[in-house]
Amino acid sequence: MAVRKGLGKGLDSMIPEQIKNSKDNNEDNVSRETLININEIEPNKTQPRKNFDEDALNELSDSIKQYGIIQPLILQKMNKGYEIIAGERRWRAARIAGLKKVPAIIKEYTDQEIVEIALIENIQREDLNPIEEALAYQRLIQEFNLKQEDVADRVSKSRTAVTNSMRLLKLDQRIQQMLIDETISSGHARALLGIEDKEKQHEAACKVIESKLSVRETEKFVRDLLKVKEGKNDTVINNNNQLVYRDIEEKIRSIMGTKVSIRNKQNNTGKIEIDYYSIEELERILELFQGILND
């Protein structure tokens, strides 16, 4: 089993200069790697990441069994035991692997620094879902009075990226869950932000999933819905008809086993085009029609 990408990176590469420089660089502040009993370690309750992929953890556990933990956990001493600042995923995988002790570095950070480091580690490894990432940005801004520019600087992202991420929190809670479940993408979600009414927003999201719309199709779908609000009813009727025709296309395609296109006109007339790619396939389609007619 290959080592998962990112295991060999040092945490220094993930911590901005503002955090590194917030501690005196004298010998008293140097922390050395040590082995800590795994049962004395607790996860950080304020960790931005809430969802851990089970298959990915098992894969990492297999890697740990073979190679050990390459990058030590970063811990903070508590009244009883230790709290994870960075490395919860490694800690969970180590428990699955049956390790009794894990390599760790004991540090002391402020609450703000702990949130920043956990956020940076997860973003660097693309471990957060879009809602977890947005909530972490929101916490840095609300609890620690940071500006969006400050947050962007700390996580090495543009201010626009941080702003777009946080906009997702304006979505209906049900759509946020769709994002977490990866039922829709961030692109779909941002398109749905154009609909202010939460109930209609959710209805539109369900239609997007049902019709398997691309991000671009979703953007057009939302624009058409907004035009209806302005009184342009013909647009939404035509748009809804397109969704109906697309659904019918899919049903005929599943029956025929080949590409099917419906060319509809504005008066609800049109034609159906069935593609074939050989004489044998044309004969198969003919036999299919004959079978339907004989039933």
Catalytic residues: 88
DSSP 48: S
Angle between helix axes 130-144 and 173-180 (nearest 10 degrees) is: 120
Q: Do residues 254 and 228 lie in contact, with contact meaning Cβ atoms separated by under 8 Å?
A: no
List the Cα angle 126/132/135 in 5-degree steps.
130
Indicate the helix (H) or strand (E) that contains 35.
strand 33-37
CA distances from 183 to 68, 106, 232 (A): 35, 39, 30
What backbone phi and psi angles, to 5 degrees, belong to 82? -135, 150
Tokens 């992929």 found at: 53
